[in-house]
Amino acid sequence: MIVRIATEGQYRLESAYFDQLNAIDNALVEAIAASDEARFKALLADMLDLVRQHGKPLPPEEFVESDVILPPPDTTFEEAKELFAGEGLIPG
């Protein structure tokens, strides 16, 4: 599985971690719904660390489309809320 951390780069991650990623993602959604900013920050850090720790950075010679793209490491709580409201991080 190819995972990109937005603004950081791509990693090759064993599919076995997919469930873990998914679980953190669900918890993130709950944290945003509950307006729990501290939990959001901790979970986002957990999610990115999981990829950085267990994934292998993709060399620049490889051109592969990512299977999933994770939000940038400096995503603010406000931005995450907007991401759900449909505004997104990328205008235009």
- The answer to whether residue 74 forms part of the interface with another protein (CB under 8 A) is yes
CA distances from 63 to 9, 10, 83, 84 (A): 12, 10, 27, 29
Three-state DSSP class for residue 70: strand
- Rounded Cα distance between 11 and 26, Å, is 21
- The answer to whether residue 35 forms part of the interface with another protein (CB under 8 A) is no
Task: List the one residue from 14, 25, 34, 53 that touches another protein (CB under 8 A).
Answer: 25
Binding site for another protein (CB under 8 A): 4, 6-7, 9, 21-22, 25-26, 28-29, 32, 60-66, 68-72, 74, 80, 83-84, 88-90
